[in-house]
Amino acid sequence: MSEDKLESPESRRGFLTKLTGGLFGAGLLGGSWTFIRSLVPNVLYEPPQRFKIGDPEAYTAGVHFLDKHRLFLFREENSFHAISAVCSHLGCTVKFSPFKQLREMTVRKLSYRSRGEFRCACHGSHFRDEGTNYAGPAPRPLKWHELTRSPEDGQLVVDLAREVDRDFRLVV
């Protein structure tokens, strides 16, 4: 009986000491984990900004959507131009809605024959087929990207890092 009284305070003290040590160790480990994790940066994959999209002969006249690159390629006879499919509002992918007939349009004092328009399904922005925004929340027109031919094999090369003016055409 006397041994139980002597061991009881020590086991209680020992339990509280272990509990305190465990809580202190868990707090120290949790605090140091965020520090150690901050030393290892997150890696973001960024696709190449310049890439080949194929031979010009592979594309017929009209509008082609390259979904892998979120890009529209327009071909009119021997001239090509590329327009981004990324909406200037929040980055959704716009869809091309063709008209039943070609329409005469005048946008920024330039007259041309329009094939259709771009529509953003996310928030309702509308763009002319040359990229100018005319309805919805989109603050800027769609981007036009530089299009060149590869000197090695003659394939079309798109450079997403370089924007070009709206009258740019690559004549093949």
The pLDDT, as a whole number, for residue 4 is 53
For the chain, percent of residues with pLDDT exceeding 70: 95
Whether 46 has a pLDDT exceeding 90, the answer reads: no
The pLDDT, as a whole number, for residue 8 is 60
Q: Are strands 94-107 and 110-120 parallel, antiparallel or unpaired?
A: antiparallel
Specify which residues 106 forms β-bridges with. 111
Q: Are 169 and 160 in contact (CB under 8 A)?
A: no
Whether 30 has a pLDDT exceeding 80, the answer reads: yes
- Give the model's confidence band at 157: pLDDT under 50 very low, under 70 low, under 90 confident, else very high: very high
**How many beta carbons lie within 10 A of that of residue 142, not counting itself?**
25
Whether 1 has a pLDDT exceeding 60, the answer reads: no
The pLDDT, as a whole number, for residue 10 is 73
The pLDDT, as a whole number, for residue 89 is 94
Q: Over the stretch 53-88, which tens digit does the pLDDT of each residue have?
A: 999 999 999 999 999 999 999 999 999 999 999 999
For the chain, percent of residues with pLDDT exceeding 90: 67
DSSP state of 4: H
Which residue from 128, 78, 69, 68 is spatially nearest to 98, judged by alpha carbons? 128
User: If you average pLDDT over residues 20-36, what whole number do you get?
Assistant: 92
- Give the model's confidence band at 34: pLDDT under 50 very low, under 70 low, under 90 confident, else very high: confident
Whether 5 has a pLDDT exceeding 80, the answer reads: no
pTM (predicted TM-score): 0.71
